Chains A and B, each alone.
Chain A
Amino acid sequence: MIPIDYAQLLQLAWPEIIVVAAALIAMAIDLIALRQRPARTRFAVAASIASIGCFAAILRILLAPDTANLLDGTLIANPLVHLVQIALLSLAIFTLLLSVDATFTQHVGEFVLLIMVATAGTMFLVASQDLLVIFISLELLSLSLYTLAAFNKRSLQSWEAAIKYYLFGGMSAAFLLFGFSLLYGLSNSTSLTHIAGAIHGPSLNPLLIIAIVTTTIGLGFKVAAVPFHFWAPDVYQEAPAPSAAFIASASKVASFFIFFQIMALGFAGSEGSAALFHVVRGWVPVIALTATLSMLLGNLVAIRQTSLRRLLAYSAIAHAGYMLLGIVAHTQQSLAALLYYVITYALATLGAFAVIAVVEDQRGTDQLAHFDGLGRQAPVLSLGLAIFILSLAGIPPLAGFFGKFYLFATVLASTPRPVGLLWLVALALAMSIVSLYYYLRVLKRVYVAPPSADAPPIKSPALSQFLVVLLAAAVLLFGCAPQLLLQWIQAAVQSSGL
């Protein structure tokens, strides 16, 4: 039994403690001092306090970058974890900024608190290589997200989406727990590295196969991969905009990171292979299958969507397919590529939700037809939307293009002969042609179609414009100078030794 050093534990958990403390302060101030004020003021105060908390946590991580591995990976601090945590905190700040103009609720303190708790959940999630802590943080994250999705009490559809999310989520958590319990049974340990050492063997144990499949189900649900994606379109469409944005960005980043870690670390030695004509049993073919299905279904179904949010949901499913290729490759380089992809993807999606929030707020719906002529009524927001959408489509010089290039290059480089996984890359690129069609349909609405005569003109709130400009600048910058983010990611991945 290793003695627990509580002082060190606290020391390592400082950023998370700061986030939770800021959340409690924000809620307390909102409840005690601001009950009678208008919702916007309350949101502004609470979001500012919470953002300051996130910012303080980022500063703490940057100024005191400890490196530690507590209790066989129960809590880990290394440059890679710090990098992901900073990304998560930044996305949380953007989400908070996005929520300031929200009008769907009077429960301001609770809403901000839940976002912060979810953020803390993601931070613990990425900082652990222990099944128990991973599961607990995942639940902390998920339970906050279910509530966030249901936060608009005036909308029945929001409820419905949240219930759907909750039921599917509960089921997938059960699968995940079942897989974890099998892993524990096989290895007598909850630490990923120990598990890999114990299950390593020449042939696959049938129980291990079940563990692989159930773990994939549980995590596949979190990243909305086919066939565990059913919740995504409803939640994306009906949840309040900031909640949906958070689910689509920060939660995605954390889930993909931990998905990679569990597969690459925990199941090391039972990879198998998905190379064409050389399929070997293991977890790689399972992931490759989900990736293929996600790319196909996501892109093909997105064509038919008439609601922008739903379109983004199916595009998210398609992007999950692309990103799963990074897990299929499971090399250091592909982890770097995956992180680059998912972070820039999160920025673009968050930005798109910021624009949707404005249009929805003033026109009451996110139907594509209501984006007609937006280009002339709100030039800044429209330019931002164009940048986000084109980045998702993978058009250079935006971040999404470099993400795709780097990810696909690392996937090809992961096998000794680049032909092995070429079929997956070719499929991904073929599907990206399909995606251009539906992305251009959105931009056609915005720039080509004339504004409909009876629709009220769109006013662009200053804060939304600021957020959109900020995110668009980031997407453009990381696209034109990928090195800025890339060298940081690569150095962190190298030093983590994953």
Chain B
Amino acid sequence: MLAWTIYISFLGAAGLLLLPKGSTVVARVLALLTAVAGFAIALTVFVHHRTGEMHTLIRVPWIPSLGIEYHLADDGISLTLVLLTGIIAVAGVLFSWNIQERSKEFFAFYLLLIGAVYGVFLSFDLFLLFVFYEIVIIPKYFLIAIWGSTRREYGAMKLAIYSFAGSAMVLVGLIAAYVEAGAHTASLSDLAQYPFSPHFQMAAFPLVFTGFAILAGMWPFHTWAPTGHVAAPTAASMLLAGVVMKLGAYGCLRVAMTLFPLGLGPWSAHHLGFGSWRDVFAVLAVIGIVYGASVALVQKDFKFVIGYSSVSHMGFILLGLMTLNQIGLSGAVLQMYSHGILAGLLFAVVGRMVYNRTHTRELAALGPMNLSHAIPFAAVTFVIAGMASMGLPGFSGFVAELMIVIGVWRSYPLLAIFVGVGIVIGVVYVWRAMQKAFFAESGVAAGFSPREPGHEKDAGFSPGSLLPITLQEKLGAIILVAASVVVGIYPQVLLNVIVPALNSPLFAGLRQGSWQ
């Protein structure tokens, strides 16, 4: 039944294209229904799924002569991420309710993207997984290039090229692994058991891992993320930060680490103080955490703050993966979910609630508008989302980051200190953005730099001129906050399926390798 999340999304996309011209309202409703249907399926299966172990949905030969199968399955990790996709999909449609221009095409691309994302999370055949993974690139490009804002064509192209470069690296590794294993199966579980030589794994692991990690925003390949997020329309930034970046992290765990566990093992000698690829990627992840947070601290553009915060939070996921202990890995999966929800919420506030009303994202220009009075709902939502994202207990972010930090403490005690620094900076940049955008005192701001160019046009601004927050926006925000709070208060709801999945035979190689 879970497979229908994919089909329904694709059918919805096709249905939207067939609608007559100018049926904006119908398009919205159809998109919402499709997204809700996908979410409902995901939730139903999630509720009934008790064990979290791998469960095949459909497995039929696809290209028999090459041993390629159409194999959809789910385990606790996929299920968590499918659920996340469902939530973000619904919220994204609600936050794009105001799209007027070419709305039919917008939602068609949107649902195409969603369907492919579901597909990636449910594929247990490498070829199939890769097919879905690459389908994602094209709608992403068009969503940004057509409906985006600041430097949209540049941002979209950069994003597409980076994604494609990442997937080309992945493809080289996958084809090599497929051929090395005899070119008669592309099944993930079969290949995970194939004894690739340590030499091969040592070469293939960094290639495939980096390929996927590009999409997960790993420093120094993260530069597509802030520009892409800023250029994208709200729903697309939500999807991009919420689920597309997770595709990369998911691929790192599901493909790179599962297939080539020995690639994580120690090298014969230390180079530059690194003893294995694991050390290298752990350090890159920590640099991402600290760098992303520090850069977010000095941004003038509200959306760039969130964009760089994504880089920082994605660093936590990659670092959690590199801890290679159960608590760190489950924390990483939990963080995929948590960051997906919270990044979605933050982009919704900044892109839809604030930018669509004020038409500026300059923090300095937003201050004098006194937004906490003009649109209190947005201010409250941002405060909640900001608190959750800086790791306040009671929200999903806290549990996830705590687990990762514990994991890091066990594997890399020294790095844990830098993570702590990153978390502190995280508190500061959220605080700063919150204060500047929503709670700057008007008196102070009025006397503040009247020479700035962005300032003049807002001179005649009065708080009453902003449109009130619509019902759809409120609904979307409530869904996302609830999704974070539920997991924050009762993390077992996800961990109950994530932990068994990590203990399943699929990850046996990883556990034997260097599991602590």
Contact = CB atoms under 8 A, between A and B. Distances in A.
Interface of A: 390, 395-397, 401-402, 405-406, 408-409, 412-413, 418, 422, 425-426, 429-430, 432-433, 436-437, 440, 443-444, 447-448, 482-483, 486-487, 490
A125 B62 CA distance: 34
Nearest to A417: B180
Interface stretch (B168-176, B355-363, B417-425, B447-455): B168-176
B157 A440 contact: yes
A437 B157 contact: yes
Nearest to A414: B179
Nearest to B146: A448
A436 B135 CA distance: 13
Contacts of B66: 406, 409, 486
A395 B172 contact: no
A251 B64 CA distance: 31
B175 A396 contact: no
Contact of A487 (B65, B176, B178): B65
Interface in B140-187: 141-142, 145-146, 153, 157, 160-161, 164-165, 168-169, 171-172, 175-176, 178-180, 183
B65 A433 contact: no
B131 interface: yes
Interface centre among B131, B146, B164, B175, by most chain A C-beta atoms within 10 angstroms, is: B175
Contact of B135 (A396, A402, A418, A432): A396
Given A413-B179, A482-B63, A395 B135 contact: yes
Contacts of B180: 418
B165 A433 contact: yes
A450 to B, nearest CB: 10
A433 B168 contact: yes
A401 B133 CA distance: 13
B160 A440 contact: yes
B137 interface: yes
Contacts of A443: 142
A179 to B, nearest CB: 33
Given A432-B164, A447-B142, A486-B66, 14 more contacts: A395-B134, A395-B135, A395-B137, A396-B134, A406-B66, A409-B178, A409-B179, A409-B183, A429-B168, A429-B169, A436-B164, A440-B160, A483-B63, A486-B63
A448 B175 contact: no
Contacts of B127: 405
B172 A437 contact: no
A448 B176 contact: no
A405 B153 CA distance: 29
A437 B130 contact: no
A433 B134 CA distance: 12
A429 B171 contact: yes
Contacts of B130: 396
Contacts of B171: 405, 408, 429
A482 B62 CA distance: 9
14 contacts: A395-B135, A395-B137, A397-B135, A408-B175, A409-B66, A412-B176, A422-B176, A432-B168, A433-B164, A437-B161, A444-B153, A447-B145, A447-B146, A483-B64
B142 A448 contact: yes
A482 B64 CA distance: 10
B467 interface: no
B372 to A, nearest CB: 37
B131 A401 contact: yes
Nearest to A444: B145
A436 B64 CA distance: 30
Contacts of A483: 62-65
A405 B65 contact: no
B25 to A, nearest CB: 20
B146 A425 contact: no
Given A405-B175, A409-B178, A425-B172, A397 B131 contact: yes
A401 B134 contact: yes
A487 to B, nearest CB: 6
- Can you list the 8 inter-chain pairs with the closest CB atoms, starting with the nearest? A396-B131, A429-B168, A412-B179, A448-B145, A418-B179, A413-B179, A436-B164, A433-B165
Interface residues of B, number: 33
B205 to A, nearest CB: 15
Contacts of B160: 436, 440
Contacts of A412: 175-176, 179
Interface of B: 62-66, 127, 130-132, 134-135, 137-138, 141-142, 145-146, 153, 157, 160-161, 164-165, 168-169, 171-172, 175-176, 178-180, 183
Contacts of B132: 396
Given A447-B142, A482-B63, A409 B168 contact: no
Given A409-B175, A409-B183, A432-B168, A440 B141 contact: yes
A490 B65 contact: yes
A142 to B, nearest CB: 36
A430 B65 contact: no
B294 to A, nearest CB: 30
B123 to A, nearest CB: 12
Contacts of A409: 66, 175, 178-179, 183
A428 B54 CA distance: 36
A100 to B, nearest CB: 28
A425 B175 CA distance: 10
B287 to A, nearest CB: 25
A428 B193 CA distance: 29
Contacts of B168: 429-430, 432-433
B67 to A, nearest CB: 11
B161 A448 contact: no
B153 A426 contact: no
B234 to A, nearest CB: 18
Contacts of B145: 444, 447-448
Contacts of B134: 395-396, 401
A483 B135 CA distance: 20
Nearest to B176: A418
B146 A395 contact: no
Contacts of B137: 395
B154 to A, nearest CB: 11
Contacts of B141: 440
B24 to A, nearest CB: 15
B143 to A, nearest CB: 11
Contacts of A486: 63, 65-66
A429 B165 CA distance: 9
Nearest to B178: A409
A436 B157 CA distance: 9
A486 B68 CA distance: 13
A440 B164 CA distance: 12
A483 B64 CA distance: 8
Contacts of A401: 131, 134
Contacts of A447: 142, 145-146
A395 B134 CA distance: 6
Interface centre among A395, A396, A412, A432, by most chain B C-beta atoms within 10 angstroms, is: A396
A446 B220 CA distance: 33
A136 B468 CA distance: 79
Nearest to B183: A413
B63 to A, nearest CB: 5
A413 B135 CA distance: 26
A244 B321 CA distance: 53
Nearest to A413: B179
Contacts of A413: 179, 183
B23 to A, nearest CB: 15
Contacts of A397: 131, 135
A395 B132 CA distance: 10
B193 to A, nearest CB: 19
Contacts of A437: 157, 161
Contacts of B169: 429
Nearest to A434: B161
Contacts of B65: 483, 486-487, 490
